[in-house]
Amino acid sequence: MTKNASGVKSKIWLSAPHISGHEEVYIKEAFKTNWIAPLGPNVDGFESDLEGYLENESHVTALTSGTAAIHLALKLLNVSAGDEVLCQTKTFVASVNPVIYVGATPIFIDSETKTWNLCPELLEKAILDRLQKGKKPKAIIAINLYGMPYNVTDIHAIARKYQIPVIEDSAEALGSHYKNQPCGTFGDLSILSFNGNKIITTSGGGALVSRNRDTKKRAIFLATQAKDPGINYTHSEVGYNYRLSNILAGIGRGQMQVLENRIQTRRAHYEYYKNELQHISDIEFLEEPENYFSNRWLTAILFKTKTIRDGVLQALSKENIESRPSWKPMHQQPMFENHPSYLNGVSDNLFERGLCLPSGSNLTDVELDRVNLVIKKYFG
């Protein structure tokens, strides 16, 4: 076991960046050709790599972050002050913050146990209730949490029935698919993230995936300060500075070459944990339902009780191993207190009992063993 000079065991991270070695070629090229700007051949190349990977008429706009991509998605759907947006409550806060940026109100919807994602029945119930209260929701934000696709068939049937556009937050799910179609291609608009902890990274970055070229054009317009045509810097509307740097896009191009490998590795980690720990009756794994394929961005497991979960988290932390409770639902966040929510107890329960285990694709067998042994030891 690796210890440093002071005898502390080396840190095991939840999901560390994993560089492939292919990135530097693109970065060097950017320096050599002086494309040190938020546009250039790497930005174009990274977008076309992603479009080739996603297929299904995907048009990709590379941006500074996944959060920026959600913000632009809301702008593209004309969500504005006073509007309501339906959002999965069980998620990372970045899914919801942009709703506040545009002055709209997030309405939180609970999850189903099968996928941990949006519960179709509750979604429809919420829509009917909002309609009855006199306001039609402007958008639905559906999440592919930890890489597990949401129930695409049912959620989109409801969205179509009530004609509400879906923003698919696929920040955690590049490489996942549902009925053999890639996540990131289901939303009217979809978003991806390349933050340092995601399955591939540009250090920081994101993308908006739209279904046609005109929407992509408008996304680029908004992401580059909304400058009207002509030489005079005339602006008829508010824009943003959201385009991805050509240097960072170079990292993305290198990362795209190993995406398949990263998916296989993270899935193998999930299988390892499952093989090692499934015999412990206090531990439960989130299985893939038929037609669902998860990139297993993070292996998230459930313990029988919160006390056990907290105990395991502490035992891991003592061994310098990072683990994390599964996302605290948005309806429990202090800043969203008293927000309208449609709840069934599932996300509260997952938050109490859920734990994310180290899942990075550069974890070594020795590190995985260390995690495994701490958990086994906890259960005697």
Ligand X SMILES: *Cc1c(COP(=O)(O)O)cnc(C)c1O
Using CB under 6 A, pick the residue from 23, 112, 172, 188 that binds ligand X: 172
Q: Residue 67 or 210: which CB sits closer to ligand X?
A: 67
262: amino acid identity, one letter: R
Minimum distance, C-beta of residue 118 to ligand X, in the bound complex (Å): 13
Q: Is 42 in the site for ligand X (CB under 6 A)?
A: no
- The piece of 167-175, 215-223, 251-259, 283-291 that touches ligand X (CB under 6 A) is 167-175
- Per the CB < 8 A criterion, the answer to whether 301 and 284 are in contact is yes
Using CB under 6 A, pick the residue from 62, 76, 139, 143 that binds ligand X: 143
Minimum distance, C-beta of residue 331 to ligand X, in the bound complex (Å): 16
Minimum distance, C-beta of residue 200 to ligand X, in the bound complex (Å): 12
Per rule CB under 6 A, count of chain residues that contact ligand X: 14
- The piece of 12-20, 35-43, 64-72, 267-275 that touches ligand X (CB under 6 A) is 64-72
**Roughly how many angstroms between the first and final C-alpha of the chain, as a whole number?**
21
Q: Residue 73 or 374: which CB sits closer to ligand X?
A: 73
- The piece of 11-19, 165-173, 261-269, 352-360 that touches ligand X (CB under 6 A) is 165-173
Q: Residue 248 or 283: which CB sits closer to ligand X?
A: 248
CA atoms within 13 A on the CB side of 94: 17
Q: Is 193 in the site for ligand X (CB under 6 A)?
A: yes
Q: Is 95 in the site for ligand X (CB under 6 A)?
A: yes
Sign of CA dihedral 293, 297, 298, 299: positive
Using CB under 6 A, pick the residue from 17, 38, 40, 66 that binds ligand X: 66
Minimum distance, C-beta of residue 96 to ligand X, in the bound complex (Å): 9
- Residue 303 neighbours by CB under 8 Å, 6+ apart: 282, 283, 284, 309, 312, 353, 354, 355
Distances (CA, A) of 244 to 36, 97, 174, 195, 258: 11, 20, 18, 12, 20
Minimum distance, C-beta of residue 214 to ligand X, in the bound complex (Å): 25
**Residue sitting closest to ligand X (CB):** 66
Here the tokens at position 259 are 């995406």
Q: Which of residues 252-271 bind ligand X (CB under 6 A)?
A: none
Residues 178-195: b if buried by 16+ CB within 10 A, e if exposed? beeebbbbbbbbbbbbbb
Minimum distance, C-beta of residue 67 to ligand X, in the bound complex (Å): 3
DSSP string, 81-110: TT-EEEEESSS-GGGTHHHHHTT-EEEEE-
Using CB under 6 A, pick the residue from 109, 127, 171, 244 that binds ligand X: 171
Here the tokens at position 117 are 């994602």
- List, in sequence order, the alpha helices (H) in the chain: 23-32, 41-54, 66-76, 97-101, 120-132, 152-162, 213-223, 246-256, 259-277, 306-318, 346-353, 365-378
C-alpha to C-alpha distance for 237 and 226, rounded to whole angstroms: 6
Q: Residue 54 or 94: which CB sits closer to ligand X?
A: 94
Interface ranges with ligand X (CB under 6 A): 65-67, 91-92, 94-95, 143, 169, 171-172, 193, 195, 206
